[in-house]
Structure 1
Amino acid sequence: MSTAEARGVFHRARGRTLDAFPSEKEREWKGPFYFIQGADPQFGLMKAWSTGECDSGGDEWGQETRLTEQAVRAVNRLNPKPKFFVLCGDLVHAMPGVKAVFSGHYHRNAGGIYQNLDMVVSSAIGCQLGKDTHGLRVVVVTAEKIVHRYYSLDELSEKGVEDDLMDLLKEK
């Protein structure tokens, strides 16, 4: 798959559907399939554990990057190809210059700031445990700042991302 084709994969989700799995083809059982589940690449953890500095370490990702690339190569070589790949768990452990950490698992929106680190918890696409609506968080990263906003699925489907966030994406 070319880089242009790979980028196009992320634009295939519209109106709460992913055209990689068209309903007319996927509506009925057609036989066994398999998917790949990966977990916890946790970039930065290996150095942190090896040095014993789990709170301040983790500023190098070399080992995790090599292992993740190996995993991608291994999956890409499989024949037949898996139906899909899902990545779960901790994506990063630590990173130099981190300004915000985005997570889930709480099934409601929450967060706080500790020592200039913004902890942002996004509510669930699925089951809600609070009053927040089912939704997604849009995060825009520029050289100067990180701006994020939670949208209900209905809001995002009907209105899209607000202009002020989209304006941040325009190069100056």
Structure 2
Amino acid sequence: MTEENRTFKIQTANRRFLPFDSEKEKEWQGPFFFVQGADCQLGLTYRWTGTTRVACNPEMSMNWDVEMKATRAVIEKLNQMEPKPKFFIVCGDIVDAFDFEEPFRSRQEKDIKQIFSELDPSIPLVCVCGNHDVGDEPTRSSIQRYVDNFGDDYFDFYCGGVHCIVLNSQFYTHSANVEDLKLQHEQWLDEVLKDKQSKHIIIFQHIPWFLKSYDEEKDYFNVEINTRLKMLEKFHSAGVKKIFCGHYHRNTGGTYKSMEQVVTTAIGLQLGKDQSGVRLVRVTENDIEHQYFPTEDLPKNFL
């Protein structure tokens, strides 16, 4: 492990999330809750003009104090919770700078890993890759950089009888440079979806399939409609109950048949009227309930 990574332990290997014993965690163990956030995106506030993201150059005097403060505030709140959440999952855009935007990318990786290391060690941190983490047009090297810093770009795990599946959603928006990796992702996904023995199946990803309606038009924040409908039907047929996403920097969501997709706003910069915060998700034997909280309103107990 490199010097940079000593304060942040990568916790995925061979497409599995290491903190949970897969065999033991397949059994239902009673109600629990977890925390879902998205888009810490260190550096975006500084670069946002109100309508677009300013291009950067190495001479810029960029900072990301706002996002660091917001992320740290969430972690401080989670550390105070009793009982502790089963895990804290960040659904993509952990950093803002792309792989080629140096020196900012390296500094953002170092800073966010330092903040993540402040999370109570009894709360596993699950990282999901976003478009800024692996690139709008990902390459083998941009994906590998993410893996080296934050763990596998897709994987699955069992927690308390629930099957949690983490996707690399960037494969569904641009995969021209990595078609072989996308194929491996799809073969893996088909395999893990075969296991229907768990109480619930939950998908986690960065880019939503849709924002409000499964048949809406394509725009920057969703996935092309033919791909979208194909994947939504695949998930529904496999028994997926919920899909949790980020990317939109606003809270929204909708349903496809009996399956709900939940889009959670950013921990960092808001593009709507929501406040920085996270979503608390309560899992019972028969249901999955969720509620979004601004950071300052997070309760100490959610069970």
TM, length-normalised to structure 1: 0.50
Superposed CA deviations along residues 122-168 of structure 1, whole A, max 9, x for unmatched, are 59536877323459xxxxxxxxxxxxxxxxxxxxxxxxxxxxxxxxx
Determine what percentage of the aligned residue pairs are the same residue: 32
- 1:103 equivalent to 2:134? Answer yes
Amino acid at match of 1:83: K
Partner of 2:216: none
Partner of 2:28: 29
Partner of 1:54: 54
- Offset at residue 79 of structure 1 (A): 0.9
Q: Is residue 36–residue 90 contact of structure 2 (8 Å, CA) maintained in 1? A: yes
Q: Is residue 59–residue 96 contact of structure 1 (8 Å, CA) maintained in 2? A: no
Q: Is residue 94–residue 133 contact of structure 2 (8 Å, CA) maintained in 1? A: no
Superposed CA deviations along residues 96-130 of structure 1, whole A, max 9, x for unmatched, are 62478741687xx626xxxxxxx724595368773
- Offset at residue 77 of structure 1 (A): 0.7
Which runs of no fewer than 5 residues in structure 2 stay unpaired? 1-5, 107-131, 145-151, 155-166, 189-303
Partner SS state of residue 86, structure 1: strand
CA distance in 1, matches of 2:17, 2:68: 28
1:92/1:102 CA distance change after superposition, 3 Å: closer
Partner of 1:166: none
CA distance in 2, matches of 1:59, 1:9: 24
- Offset at residue 10 of structure 1 (A): 3.1
Q: Please point out which of 64, 71, 93 is paired with 1:68.
A: 71
Q: Is residue 92–residue 133 contact of structure 2 (8 Å, CA) maintained in 1? A: no
User: How big is the alpha-carbon RMSD for the aligned residues of Structure 1 and Structure 2?
Assistant: 4.1
How many residues get paired?
Answer: 120
Q: Is residue 48–residue 58 contact of structure 1 (8 Å, CA) maintained in 2? A: no
